[in-house]
């Protein structure tokens, strides 16, 4: 089962990583000013990860595929790593869809 890991950045902001059951990070959040806002972001990922239209499939300037998960308001709530292929990126999206809804939260901040 997946889990959200909350950490605190050097600048004092909170962030979360969604990790798959194997421990690999599959989604990373932006920085949040408060832990409450970070927790709201996690809830947003749980909800929006079930809507295919919320996944924005992109390609970096170096040609590597990645994706962003967007909230209903269009704001990016999480970004993936860079992948070697579009099929690997699509597998990452599938992993977020599978892991996010039931993921536990590990508060390390």
Q: Length of the chain, please?
A: 109
> CA dist 72 to 6, 11, 20, 39, 51, Å?
22, 28, 24, 17, 10
Task: Determine the structural domain holding residue 22 and report its residue range.
Answer: 3-107
Place of tokens 């040609």: 63
Q: What is the pLDDT of residues 51-69, one digit of tens each?
A: 999 999 999 999 999 999 9
Please report how many Cα atoms fall inside a 13 Å half-sphere around the Cα of residue 57, on the Cβ side.
14
pTM for the predicted model, two decimal places: 0.93
Query: Average of pLDDT values for 76-87?
Result: 96
Query: Average of pLDDT values for 66-93?
Result: 96
Count of domains in the chain? 1
Q: Indicate the pairing of strand 14-19 with strand 25-28.
A: antiparallel
Query: Average of pLDDT values for 15-34?
Result: 96
Query: Average of pLDDT values for 96-108?
Result: 97
Query: Residue 72 maps to which CATH number?
Result: 2.30.29.80
| Cα 31 off chain centre by | 12
How sure is the predictor about 1, in pLDDT bands with cuts at 50, 70 and 90?
confident
């Amino acid at each position: 089962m997946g889990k959200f890991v909350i950490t605190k950045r050097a600048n004092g902001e909170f962030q979360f990583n969604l990790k798959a059951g194997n421990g690999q990070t599959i989604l990373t959040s932006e920085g949040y000013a408060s832990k409450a806002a970070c927790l709201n972001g996690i809830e947003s990922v749980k909800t929006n990860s079930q809507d295919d239209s919320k996944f924005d499939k992109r390609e970096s300037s170096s040609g590597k595929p990645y994706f962003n998960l967007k909230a209903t308001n269009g704001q990016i709530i999480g970004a993936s790593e860079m992948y070697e292929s579009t099929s690997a990126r699509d597998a990452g999206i599938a992993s977020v869809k599978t892991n996010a809804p039931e993921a536990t939260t590990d508060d390390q901040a």
